[in-house]
Structure 1
């Protein structure tokens, strides 16, 4: 059974999952990891979702305001052993619902081109490719997406 918990970045299970995420990204991103890492600090994030499978923390994600009408999806991760069970989609949907409840009209996000599973997840969930934004505007290994919230 999957249980979703809304919390913040101080939650110990979120912090533990983010450590796993950072270790994974250090391998995937290689020498680009230090650049991306500077934009992935987790202190003071107010909107975090942690997914539990059989009471074990297995997936997470967060949103933070990017523009007054836009939330940015950050720190999406599913533990390696738990992939393929739909948890990432459930976390993402919960984050989108939360953003909509807070009055935001869309979500944006950045992921790496090398993260093919992440790209597929976002496309499967209705995210559309947009020009790279903000600090990612000139980064060729990044891809950015956007989704209007209903």
Structure 2
């Protein structure tokens, strides 16, 4: 890996990611959180969920998320074309299910929660709060937070 390359999020370079072992630690955190049998399965789930998330986080939060994550995860976030409309949390889970062979809504919800729940220790509560502010209601639970938004 070249340390001089740039990710596709403007302002984020791989030099922002000084921790080269961050990706294995993230995958291991997802493996433990989701109780996956193998690191291979945890890595596949991590890639799928982060790629889906990358299409729905925009602006400064997208840049800050990419900067806070390990280089491989940042690339997954940065390589996505921003979505033209925001998905509800349930539709986001369904999108992840559609990207995962053999997944059901329930298994995709588990996968999404396993990955997004592993992010707060890496990216910090302030950034999670900012990301949640730009997403429709319902995502807080996927990040392992209580959803305190009023019912519609």
**TM class, shorter-length:** 0.3 to 0.5
Which of structures 1 and 2 has the larger relative contact order (alpha carbons within 8 angstroms, sep 6+)? 2
* Structure with higher strand content: 1
Query: By percentage of residues, which structure has more helix?
Result: 2
